[in-house]
Amino acid sequence: MTLDEQAILRLNDLLREAGRRIVIVSHTNPDGDAVGSSLAWAEILRGMGHRVLCVVPNKYPYFLDWMTGIEEVVVYKTDTEGRAARAVEEADLIFCLDFNAISRLENLSDVIESNTTARRVLIDHHLAPDPGFELMFSHPDASSTSFIVYKIIERLCGTGAITPAMAEAMYVGMMTDTGNFSFSFLTPDLYRAVAVLAETGIDLPQIHNNVYNAFTEGRARLFGYAINRKMEIIQDGTVAYMSLLESEMRRFQFQQGDSEGFVNYALTIKKVKMSAMFVAHRKFIRISLRSRGDVDVNLFARKYFNGGGHRNAAGGKSFDTMQQTIDHYVRSVAEFARNGYLG
Ligand code: 5GP
Ligand code: MN
């Protein structure tokens, strides 16, 4: 990925005056990259003398609780004091990190939409961002938003400005969005960035341990159950899916984030090129899609589930029952294959 010099100049302009009131927002069901990029960006902006508040629509998963500064992130859903709404109302600048459409903020969308005075800046790596941003750093060829934030910090302030806390936050984003450096845009430049982050003295094995080895017993057992009892393989062994009902999740004391990563597991099977996970929520079913190589699940999510994402990782929602959703998936996969998209 290459930064646009013109965009950097405009960003510089927007940040020239110290003391700007800034809100950083990220997507619903915030993941390691959403939180990591937000925390690092907030910290560098504070260093420039701005007043910054990070806001997420709902709670981040518990395995990110240890991150420095996370306790200051306002969770809009449980923000009874109205801190987020007030900050958005008063903001000069709103940075939108790690999502491409305001609708991805769900319950927070209205608050952001209704603020007409703040300038909106997008920093993101999803395909096809919405129009309507004052300034965009849209880099679908970046493996994570944290990597884009790194490149902007490098260009704007130099890497000497990166504190260990910022380095840790960006590393979490880079690590989680690449599946622990195993897929998507593993460029030499990304590893150069990682080397710079490592030089700040952060403890890489400890970060890995904090994120990937901090689950509950229930999560481990739910994983076994999902793979053994719920994984179905169709399309001559090339497509997989799994589903979890609320009753099944309750049985394993489900906490938000517990099914994170399950969808990837089907892709460890040599023949499987595409995998889906259906997780029931109170009012809808959340769909996660993953693929290998040229199989484009962003296209699939857009066409069949009104969603989107990246070529090899996308998602969407269904408001039908679990069985209807699965039937729709199976039919859609067959059509997708007939149209030549499964290779
Ligand atoms: P995950 O499966 O990890 O929740 O999401 C994978 C990717 O798909 C993420 O990059 C996420 O932003 C995108 N994605 C997930 N759900 C939706 C959705 O409902 N709409 C759109 N446009 N993208 C989604
Ligand atoms: Mn991301």
Segment 36-51 shows an average pLDDT of 98
Fold of 5-211: inorganic pyrophosphatase (n-terminal core) (3.90.1640)
Question: Which residue has the least CA distance to atom 13 on ligand 1?
Answer: 309
Residue nearest to atom 1 of ligand 1 (CA): 288
**pLDDT tens digits, residue range 180-217?**
999 889 999 999 999 999 999 999 999 999 999 999 99
The pLDDT of residue 183 is 85
* Helices 164-177 and 188-199: angle between axes, nearest 10 degrees: 150
Which of 96, 99, 103, 104 is the pocket-test mutation for ligand 1 (most atoms within 8 Å of CB)?
104
Residue 97, strand partner residues: 26, 123
Query: Nearest CA to 181 among 215, 150, 208, 218?
Result: 208
Q: Which CATH number fits domain 217-338: 3.40.50.880, 3.10.310.30, 3.40.50.150, 3.40.50.1100?
A: 3.10.310.30
Q: Which of 37, 126, 279 to mutate to test the pocket of ligand 1 (most atoms within 8 A of CB)?
A: 126
| Alpha-carbon distances, residue 136 vs 24, 40, 97, 254, 320 (angstroms) | 14, 18, 10, 37, 35
**Model pTM score:** 0.95
Encoded tokens for 169: 């936050």
Residue whose Cα lies nearest atom 14 of ligand 1: it is: 315
Q: What is the pLDDT of residue 223?
A: 98
Q: pLDDT tens, 106-162?
A: 999 999 998 778 999 999 999 999 998 999 999 999 999 999 999 999 999 999 999
List the chain domain ranges: 5-211, 217-338
